[in-house]
Amino acid sequence: MSKKIFRGVVYRFGRRLTLMASIICLAPLVSAQDGADLSDISLPPGFQIEIWTDAVPNARSMALGDNGTVFVATRRDGRVYAVTPADDGDHIVTTLAEGLKMPNGVAFHDGALFVAENQRIIRFDNIESSLNRVPEPKVVIDTLSSESHHGWRYIDFGPDGKLYIALGAPCNVCEREGAANISRMNPDGSGQEIFAEGIRNSVGLTWHPETGELWFTDNGRDMLGDDIPSGELNHAPISGMHFGFPYCHGGDIPDPEFGDARQCSEFEAPAQKLGPHVAPLGLVFYTGDSFPASYRGQAFIAEHGSWNRSKKIGYRVTLVRFEDGRPSGYEVFADGWLQGEKVSGRPVDLLVLDDGSMLVSDDQSGAIYRISYIRPLNEGV
């Protein structure tokens, strides 16, 4: 049976319908709302994709609250949203803040929503009990660089209780003190320190569910041609590691301008090379129990897609398989937002819900998709 998707017009007033054909014939399933067509999306057999909400313009990073609220940040739109799920599919979308400067990063911690703007991090306390009367935010830190190039921040809380933030280089390639790193700080903004450096522009980081070690994506420099350097999945088990930027790219490509100053052998090479210019962003280890066992503990990556390649690449969700704690393979999981040179969507971030399904944000379509798995009738229990 082909892996092409059934065409479904399945949403009416936001309510989902499930096509049981996917159970019978093992083909992936697509659901779509008016104005959104996911019929080109391909997935492994047994998986389905549907529109979870299309009321979040420029949907970027996501965070999950204790009560199931999904918080969604934007970059160009300047807003932060809360999506309250409903069983009938009529999710309630609330605007929590607007007029912010590149509020790309969101993280939920101890009942509070942390939002990373370009130059500062703010905090909304007791947010899930205050969605209808959002409190004034408190400033956590306001001393971040205000440069806009790679100035959209990604944040998350680590197992150590500290807030981690990716601070991209304000350039294609340059040397700039205090940039091109992943830093961490206490939840109140104190004690900021660099955890890892030589990182051009990470827009996705997370921790391995078993080891608690940091993994992150990184976007390679531009203007070296179609096929170099590769995007990167990197591993930083300890603080103080250097990943090469701006001297070395992809672990083995000296920079034409800065490469004479340092040797590639001095730096940490990527744990897994990804496609060239695919723009790897959101990263998540699958920790749910509804996907088949072969997906548990594996890393999913949202690839936003190339912008400066003669033939586009990316615009998909990929999977990095792990064995013994290390990457062992790189494959496409969800594909089809790129047809020839025509782009219908750009995946940004990934979030595993409590039911084991996975959300995918798309800042081009202003939508969030839900990928789930339906056990075929002939599949063993």
- Binned at pLDDT 50, 70 and 90, residue 87 comes out as confident
The residues spanned by each domain of the chain are 56-365
Instruction: Tell me the Cα Rg of the chain.
Output: 20
DSSP letters of 72-92? Answer: EE-SSS--EEEEE--TTS--E
Residue 25 predicted with pLDDT over 60: no
Residue 325 CA to residue 206 CA, distance in Å, equals 14
Q: What is the pLDDT of residue 380?
A: 54
What's the average model confidence in pLDDT over 353-371?
97
Residues of the chain with pLDDT > 90, as a percent, come to 86
Backbone conformation region of residue 243, classed left if phi is above 0, alpha if psi is from -120 to 50, else beta: alpha
* Rounded average pLDDT over 170-177: 96
pTM as predicted:
0.90
Condensed to tens digits (0 to 9), the pLDDT of residues 95-109 reads 999 999 999 999 999
Give tens-digit pLDDT for 247-301. 999 999 999 999 999 999 999 999 999 999 999 999 999 999 999 999 999 999 9
Give 144-159 pLDDT, tens digit per residue. Answer: 999 999 999 999 999 9
47-53 sheet: strands from edge to edge: 29-30, 47-53, 367-373, 358-362, 347-352
Return the closest-CA partner of residue 73 out of 156, 130, 179: 156
Asked if the bond preceding 246 is cis, omega within 30° of 0, the reply is: yes
Which CATH architecture describes the domain 56-365?
A: 6 Propeller (2.120)
Q: ∠ CA(151), CA(311), CA(256), 5° rounding? A: 60
- Residue 33: its pLDDT value, please? 40
Q: In what order do the strands lie in the sheet with 154-157?
A: 154-157, 163-167, 181-185, 193-197, 241-242
Is the model's pLDDT at 89 over the cut of 80? no
Does the pLDDT at position 23 exceed 70? no
Percent of the chain having pLDDT more than 70?
Answer: 89
Closest by CA position to 183, among listed 221, 235, 240, 137: 240
Q: What is the largest CA-CA distance in the chain?
A: 60
- For residue 62, is pLDDT > 80? yes
Identify the CA nearest to 108 among candidates 144, 66, 75: 66
Residue 39 pLDDT > 80? yes
Query: Is the confidence at residue 34, as pLDDT, over 70?
Result: no
Per the CB < 8 A criterion, the answer to whether 358 and 371 are in contact is: yes
